[in-house]
Amino acid sequence: MSQAQQPLTPVESNDPIMVPKRVAMVRPETRPTLRRREEKWVMTFPHLIVREAIMFMMVVIGLAVIALLFNAPLEGLANPLETPNPSKAPWYFLGLQELLHYFPPVVAGVVIPGLVVTALVVIPYARINLVAGPLWSGDKKRLTTAIAAVTVLLVILFSAFQCWAIVVPSVIVAAAMFLAQSEGKGTPFRRFLTLVTLPEWIMTWFVLVAAILTIIGTFFRGPGWSLVWPWNMYPPA
C-alpha cells in the first residue's frame, strides 16, 4: 500500500504480444448470463415491488370473492361401513384412479407415478433436453421410422388394456408431429409446429393424456366407475 505506483503509459501498438486480446471460450450449455447483450435495467423498487404488491392483492381478492360465492363441500360424518359409489380421490389423483380402471393396482398406483416423478427429476440432466432443435431438423427417414414405431407400440400396448383415453391422444400427437414437416410453409400454426422440439412433443403428449384422464375421472365416472354423462352423475360429482 505504501509503495508508490508505477505511472501508467498508454501502449500504442497492434502487436499481439504487446496488447494481448482476451478470448473467452464458452460452451453452448453455459450460463445464459454470459451470453447477454445490452439490456435495460430498472430499479427493483418501485418497478418490481409495486407489481408484486398488485399481484398479491389480486390473488387474495380473487380468492376472497370465490370463497364468498362458493362453499367448500362437506358431506355427512365419515362412516367406514357405508362406501359411497363411486368413491373418488381428490381431483389431482383422479387421473391415477382412472388408470386403476385399466391397469393392475401396482401399475397404476406405483409404477406409473414412479416413472412420472423420475422423468420429471431427470429433465434438466437429460442431454436431449439441452440440445434439441426443431423436430424435423435431423435425419428425416430415421425420425419417421422412430415416430411410427413408438406410436404403433403405444397403440398396441394401451389397446390391449382397452385404454382408449391414452390411445386416441397418442395418435393425435403422432399425427401432429408428421404435420410439423411443412418446412416453414402453410398457416402460422403449421409454421409454429415446425419449431417444436422432441422434448416439447413428449411433454405435450403427457399433459394431454393426464388432462384427459383427469377430466374423464372427474366428470364422466359414476357408480361402479361406469361411464356417465356429467349431468346424470349421482351426487357427489
Partner 1 sequence: MSTFQLSTLTTWIRSSAVYRSIVRHGVADTNRNRSLIIFENLFLHVHPVKVREKTLKFSHTYWLGGITLVASFVLIATGILLMFYYHPSVPQAYRDMKELMFVVDNGVFYRNMHRWAAHLMVLGAMLHMLRVFYHRAYQPPRQFNWVVGVILLLITLLLSYTGYLLPWDQLAFWGVSVGTNMAKEAPLIGKPLRFLLLGGNIVSENALLRFYVLHCVVLPTALLLFLSVHIWRIRKDGGVQGPPEKASSDEVES
**Range in contact with partner 1 (rule: CB under 8 A) among 97-105, 142-150, 160-168, 172-180:** 97-105
Q: Which is nearer to partner 1, 31 or 141 (CB)?
A: 31
Q: Which is nearer to partner 1, 97 or 167 (CB)?
A: 97
Contacts of residue 176, defined as CB under 8 A and 6 or more positions apart, other chains included, come to: 193, 201
Closest Cα partner for 205 from 181, 175, 234?
A: 175
Residue 66 and residue 58 in contact, taking contact as beta carbons nearer than 8 Å: no
**Is 159 a binder of partner 1 (CB under 8 A)?**
no
Contact positions with partner 1 (CB under 8 A) in 104-123? 105-106, 108-110, 117, 120-121, 123
Q: Count the site residues for partner 1 by CB under 8 A.
A: 75
Instruction: Report the alpha-carbon distance of residue 195 to residue 183 in Å, rounded.
Output: 10
Q: How far is CA 183 from CA 38, 178, 190, in A?
A: 32, 11, 9
Contacts of residue 168, defined as CB under 8 A and 6 or more positions apart, other chains included, come to: 212
Closest Cα partner for 151 from 143, 162, 139?
A: 143
**Is 72 a binder of partner 1 (CB under 8 A)?**
yes
Q: Which of 82, 142, 188, 235 binds partner 1 (CB under 8 A)?
A: 82
**Range in contact with partner 1 (rule: CB under 8 A) among 75-83, 150-158, 160-168, 173-181:** 75-83
* Concatenated DSSP letters of 119-161: HHHHGGG-HHHHH--BGGGS-HHHHHHHHHHHHHHHHHHHHHT
**Is 81 a binder of partner 1 (CB under 8 A)?**
no
Cα dihedral: 121, 127, 129, 132 (round 10): -170
Pattern of binders to partner 1 over 207-226, x per CB under 8 A? Answer: x-------------------
**Range in contact with partner 1 (rule: CB under 8 A) among 7-15, 73-81, 178-186, 215-223:** 73-81
Contact positions with partner 1 (CB under 8 A) in 6-65? 22, 24, 26, 29-37, 39-49, 51-52, 55-56, 59-60, 63-64
Q: Which of 19, 128, 130, 156 binds partner 1 (CB under 8 A)?
A: 130
